[in-house]
Structure 1
Amino acid sequence: MSYIAGVDIGNSTTEVCVGEVTDRGNVTFLTSASCPTTGTKGTIENVYSVKNALKLAMSRIGRETSDIDLVRLNEAAPVIGDTAMETLTETVITDSSMIGHNPSTPAGAGQAVGEILLIENISRAVPGTAYILASSSEHSYEEVAAVVNQHEEVDIVGIILQADEAVLVENRIHKQVPIIDEVRRIDRLPDGVPAAIEVALPGQTIRMLSNPYGIATLLGLTAEETRTITPIAKSLIGKRSAVVLKTPGGNIHENVLPAGEIYFYGDKNVTISLDEGADKIMAAAEDAGDIRDISGQPDTNVGNMLSRIRTGMSELDKSAEADIRITDILAVDTLAPVLISGALAGETCLEKAVGIAAMVKTQKLPMQEIAAHLTTDLGTDVKVAGVEAVMASLGALTTPGTKLPLAILDMGGGSTDAAIIDESGHVNLTHQAGAGELVSMLIQTELGLSDRHIAEEIKKYPLAKVESLFHMRMENGQMTFVDESIDPRFFGRVVLLTENGLVRIEEEIPMEKIVQVRREAKRKVFVTNAFRALKKVAPDHNLKNISTVVLVGGSAEDFEIPEMLMEAFTDYRIVCGRGNIRGTEGPRNAVATGLVLSYIGEMEG
């Protein structure tokens, strides 16, 4: 009787399964565990996470790692997924020519057009001229209100403040004008230039300054000037308030960056420009057939990006014979917020971008070296055994209700892998670039989040809006009431519903937009990749020749991805769902379980 441990080293997680095997080849699964992978998959740093996972698993049955007779490692495929985002266009504004703004606490409502007048220059005001008064935080709200009330002869039609004091000023002045605050770099406001400001009513958004012709109407722009301010109008869509300036010496220009071309080297060599967009790029990848390598045009965005990915991989395999190749990419169209040069309050403009996940292969990774380290540290036999996708197929077969032939989709952090095992046990497999990490990057980029961690959390958990201290509105519209009052810090905020309680989203983003971006990112990556991968391994490359798909891997635990895939496969009459490895583990632990099962097969062989 022996203790056999299967260890699956993944991009994000290392999983362990321990079984008790008799001399007759019968196995009893005893325990399992997982922990975050240390280092990059397939490198010496993985030793630490393997030991941690083994120790945790054995402690659950009151045993030590020294009791293990054999550790079987997956052949951590020499594949690394990486992601990058490249913006195709960039709006550059010089001399603060036009600037949009969206503070959270404007006051008043309506539009106003006039010359910028700094508060310290109020004495220079000319009767009959409309002015927009600008005040830095050096002047208190009482001072600003007093100046406006004392100079009733000056035609002040709007106010711009540096401090967050719009409502305080509005409550103290004798006239009603739109007031915008939180303009951090108010010292850069040029005195005497034409400006237009707009504040929408509560619950509404601006209409004139989010329309290029509206800006042209208010500021008297020519047709050419109207064309150049279109990016500003676009950046102001959905805002509660805005200010647009026109400086005589200023100019706006759109700088189209050299996005570059992608070169596919496969059954057929294909060249495609990044400007063509994701659909054309993926069509070119399919035209290339079996891809041996991918590179980018030198000294362009995509060329530099692919070069960085290749260089990063070379750090892992520094051997002279290292053969580092990019064998697959997944391109996704998106919008990225770009900081506007010359902005007065850190404003951004959404620009077209392409997100790319790349799959990098090397000749070999030091799996035998990892095994040698573990043998020394654990004092037990460690063997590298089994191709990952084959082991995952064996593990998936322990899901109740499955039989051969069987297709699996292993959706992890860096890659989406597919395999089909037929009645004879033959396995056809593929590795595709793009999985959970690319989804997180798309969510972070499109929502303009500063923290990748919160993007990861948004990917994993459903949302709610706390509308009172005793109820929340869920993202599906359902109202949920609670017995104990909700922490006041969450009142009026969008929150994530995690297993550890509520997590507040700090950015002021509508819940509906977050849900839309999250679901679209998952569709773009997981649904697209599922079809790509299964089509590649399906008999005759026809999805209608697949009857059953089992979803395994970390992303199969997601609360909405399996349902998305089930809907997507409806037309093909494919039975698709989350795996339940050994009837207890859910979609996790497929490879580790397969490694233990394959040991029995070797015994019988």
Structure 2
Amino acid sequence: MKLIAGVDIGNSTTEVCIAQMDSEGRMRFLSSSSRATTGTKGTIANTAGIINGLEVAMERIGKNVKELSLICINEAAPVIGDTAMETITETIITESSMIGHNPSTPAGAGQATGTILYMQHLEDGKTGIPYIVVASSKYSYESIAETINSYAKKLSIVGMILQADEAVLVENRLEQKIPIVDEVKYVEKIPEGIQAAIEVALVGQSIRMLSNPYGIATLLKLDANETKKVTPIAKSLIGKQSAVVIKTPFEHVKENKLPAGEIYFLGDSKTSVNVDAGADKIMEVLSQTGKINDISGQSGTNVGNMLRNIKKGMGELTKEEASEIKITDILAVDTLAPVQIFGALAGETCMEKAVGVAAMVKTKQLPMEKIAEELKKRLHIYVKVAGVEAVMASLGALTTPGTKLPLAILDLGGGSTDAAIINENGSVVTTHKAGAGELVSMLIQTELSLSTRHIAEEIKKYPLAKVESLYHMRLENGAIHFFEEPIEPKYFGNVVLLHPDKMIILEDDIPMEKIVAVRREVKKKVFVRNAMRALIEVAPEHNLRNIENVVLVGGSAQDFEVPEMLMEEFANYKIVCGRGNIRAIEGPRNAVATGLVMSYIGERHD
């Protein structure tokens, strides 16, 4: 009796399958496990995650890892998917002649224009001049209100800017109501004696003047050139409830542009495309280039820097020169990216059109051989690099009930989307495309301006709801769900993620409808587009109508909405499509690991 392990090292997870083979070559599957991949896929750091996965899988059948006779690992070299993903846009860095701000707790309502005056200098104020008073957090809200009430009898105080988040507390104590903007972190950087405009909208409404460059021009008396410079500020304030815009000396304005740049494709022919043309044009030019040998970017541009850093980073991992590293595929996706406005008081950004890019890298080294050697050294077990991922996934997918040859598979992973077709005679055609689950997470984080990638990962995985009372919540599909018992008050009024074990509150103040729209659109841009271009490449005569069945495998095939999106798309071609159920128990996971074991036993029979 032999115990054999199949190990699939993915970008995000490492999966293990344990099988037993008797003296006559008959196989029985015993156990499996899934653990987070340690280190970058294809590097020695993967061994820690592999060993952990083996230990868990063997422990489930009451055995020790040392009882294994053979470990089969997938051949990920020479292609390593998703080594880097970035958002490419034309970056405009402006130390603007205007400074904008949007706090979450303003007070009062209306617009005002006046000269900046620090609260400690109120005694220097002159009658007949409208002032916007600036107060730092060293003053309490009581002392601020008392001082303003006192000086308002002889000075024209038309608005206030506070460092602390106490606008409402101050406004409640003022005898003459004025618009107040608070949470201005760097109030000490506001120069005195210059003009500023302030606006606070009514509850449920958004500002109108300061979100319009011509509105700012009206309030601060700008010329055409100054109005052009203030446009990024106005764009950043669209939809906000309040804002303050401060006019700084025009000679301080500086602008530096780093262009998006051109992408160069080296394949059967040499082609190029400017990133500004958008993702559709980039992918169109890519498809016309034929087999890709390498992809590079224009020097001194955003995309050039990104592609150079990808090669440099992979070269450091594999100990190769960057010139030896080749990029063999990219996926470009149109998106929106926040661009910081330099010179702002509170890190303001405005959303600009951008292109998200995932890249697939080819190296001369065979990193899996190095991993195999390291595993042999640490475990004293024979390790075999067994086969290409897509081929192994096809073998594993055949254990799904209801499948038959010929069969097409889509392996939706974290870094890449792989496709394969296995014919009646057992021959397999495969392809590997850059971009999958991790690109989706990056784009969700970018478009929603989320603070961490972890939050984006959670949004990708789980549906949403809005808790509207202690007894019910509205699901993202519009349905109402009632609770038998009142839920904790902390959930009230919040958008939550419906994790199987608990509800997760989203701290970012973003409407549920926007989150859902961004999540679904991003998944379509990445998964549906990649699935189509991968299947067309492996389909007989490159015609999707020549494919009858598609089995979805891989971690992203577990997604709660991606398989339905693909089923809907493939229905146009009369293709039967659905999630795999590997060995009738694993769902869409473990296909490659299962295929590795089956491949070895098949070789034994041969």
For the residue of structure 2 that corresponds to 1:153, the secondary structure is coil
Distance (Å, rounded) in 2 between the aligned partners of 1:344 and 1:34: 46
For the residue of structure 1 that corresponds to 2:98, the secondary structure is coil
Structure 1 residues 125, 318: CA separation in 2 closer, same or farther (over 3 Å shift)?
A: closer
The more displaced of 249-258 and 432-441 is 249-258
Kindly provide the amino acid, as one letter, of the partner of residue 537 in structure 1: V
Structure 1 residues 512, 91: CA separation in 2 closer, same or farther (over 3 Å shift)?
A: same
For the residue of structure 2 that corresponds to 1:175, the secondary structure is coil
1:128-527 equivalent positions in 2, closer than 5 A: 128-150=128-150, 151-249=152-250, 252=253, 255-318=256-319, 323-527=324-528
Instruction: Report percent identity of matched pairs.
Output: 65
Deviation at 1:540, TM superposition (A): 1.5
Distance (Å, rounded) in 2 between the aligned partners of 1:195 and 1:203: 24
CA contact (8 A) 1:87 1:352 kept: no
The more displaced of 162-171 and 119-128 is 119-128
Distance (Å, rounded) in 2 between the aligned partners of 1:373 and 1:317: 15
For the residue of structure 1 that corresponds to 2:334, the secondary structure is strand
Kindly provide the amino acid, as one letter, of the partner of residue 352 in structure 1: K
Structure 1 residues 209, 332: CA separation in 2 closer, same or farther (over 3 Å shift)?
A: same
Distance (Å, rounded) in 2 between the aligned partners of 1:318 and 1:83: 17
Kindly provide the amino acid, as one letter, of the partner of residue 259 in structure 1: A
Distance (Å, rounded) in 1 between the aligned partners of 2:6 and 2:87: 40
Partner residue, 2:546: 545
For the residue of structure 1 that corresponds to 2:318, the secondary structure is coil
Distance (Å, rounded) in 2 between the aligned partners of 1:275 and 1:466: 41
TM-score normalised by length of structure 1:
0.95
CA contact (8 A) 2:472 2:482 kept: yes
Kindly provide the amino acid, as one letter, of the partner of residue 207 in structure 2: I
Deviations 1:451-492 (A, max 9, x none): 222222222122222333333332222332334443333333
Kindly provide the amino acid, as one letter, of the partner of residue 317 in structure 1: T
Partner residue, 2:108: 108
CA contact (8 A) 1:336 1:352 kept: yes
Deviations 1:174-200 (A, max 9, x none): 122211111111112222322221112
Deviation at 1:252, TM superposition (A): 4.8
CA contact (8 A) 1:228 1:253 kept: no
Deviations 1:294-339 (A, max 9, x none): 1122232222211111111112323689942110011122222122
Distance (Å, rounded) in 2 between the aligned partners of 1:483 and 1:414: 42
Kindly provide the amino acid, as one letter, of the partner of residue 373 in structure 2: A
The more displaced of 514-523 and 554-563 is 514-523
Deviations 1:120-177 (A, max 9, x none): 3323433333322222222221222122222223222222111111111111111222
Distance (Å, rounded) in 2 between the aligned partners of 1:603 and 1:322: 41
CA contact (8 A) 1:93 1:343 kept: no
Number of residues of Structure 1 aligned to a counterpart in Structure 2: 604
Kindly provide the amino acid, as one letter, of the partner of residue 170 in structure 2: V
Distance (Å, rounded) in 2 between the aligned partners of 1:318 and 1:122: 65
For the residue of structure 1 that corresponds to 2:56, the secondary structure is helix
Unaligned runs of 5+ in 2: none
For the residue of structure 2 that corresponds to 1:61, the secondary structure is coil
Deviation at 1:423, TM superposition (A): 1.5
Kindly provide the amino acid, as one letter, of the partner of residue 291 in structure 1: I
Structure 1 residues 402, 384: CA separation in 2 closer, same or farther (over 3 Å shift)?
A: same
Distance (Å, rounded) in 2 between the aligned partners of 1:61 and 1:2: 14
Distance (Å, rounded) in 2 between the aligned partners of 1:401 and 1:408: 14
Distance (Å, rounded) in 2 between the aligned partners of 1:142 and 1:29: 73
TM-score normalised by length of structure 2:
0.94
Deviation at 1:358, TM superposition (A): 0.8
For the residue of structure 2 that corresponds to 1:430, the secondary structure is strand
CA contact (8 A) 1:410 1:551 kept: yes
- Work out whether 1:37 is the aligned partner of 2:52: no
Partner residue, 1:27: 27
Deviation at 1:39, TM superposition (A): 2.2
Partner residue, 1:10: 10
Kindly provide the amino acid, as one letter, of the partner of residue 129 in structure 2: T
Partner residue, 2:529: 528
Kindly provide the amino acid, as one letter, of the partner of residue 156 in structure 2: D
For the residue of structure 2 that corresponds to 1:229, the secondary structure is helix
The more displaced of 250-259 and 505-514 is 250-259
Structure 1 residues 116, 376: CA separation in 2 closer, same or farther (over 3 Å shift)?
A: closer
CA contact (8 A) 2:93 2:257 kept: no
Kindly provide the amino acid, as one letter, of the partner of residue 378 in structure 2: D
- Work out whether 1:46 is the aligned partner of 2:50: no
Partner residue, 1:567: 568
For the residue of structure 2 that corresponds to 1:137, the secondary structure is coil
Q: Let me know the Cα RMSD of the aligned residues.
A: 2.1
Deviation at 1:448, TM superposition (A): 1.9
CA contact (8 A) 2:4 2:68 kept: yes
Partner residue, 1:578: 579
CA contact (8 A) 1:91 1:231 kept: no
Distance (Å, rounded) in 2 between the aligned partners of 1:83 and 1:381: 33
Unaligned runs of 5+ in 1: none
Deviation at 1:388, TM superposition (A): 1.3
Deviation at 1:559, TM superposition (A): 1.1
Structure 1 residues 450, 289: CA separation in 2 closer, same or farther (over 3 Å shift)?
A: same
For the residue of structure 1 that corresponds to 2:206, the secondary structure is coil
For the residue of structure 2 that corresponds to 1:416, the secondary structure is strand
Distance (Å, rounded) in 2 between the aligned partners of 1:312 and 1:397: 37
CA contact (8 A) 1:87 1:351 kept: no
The more displaced of 309-318 and 413-422 is 309-318
Distance (Å, rounded) in 2 between the aligned partners of 1:319 and 1:274: 28
Distance (Å, rounded) in 2 between the aligned partners of 1:332 and 1:162: 40
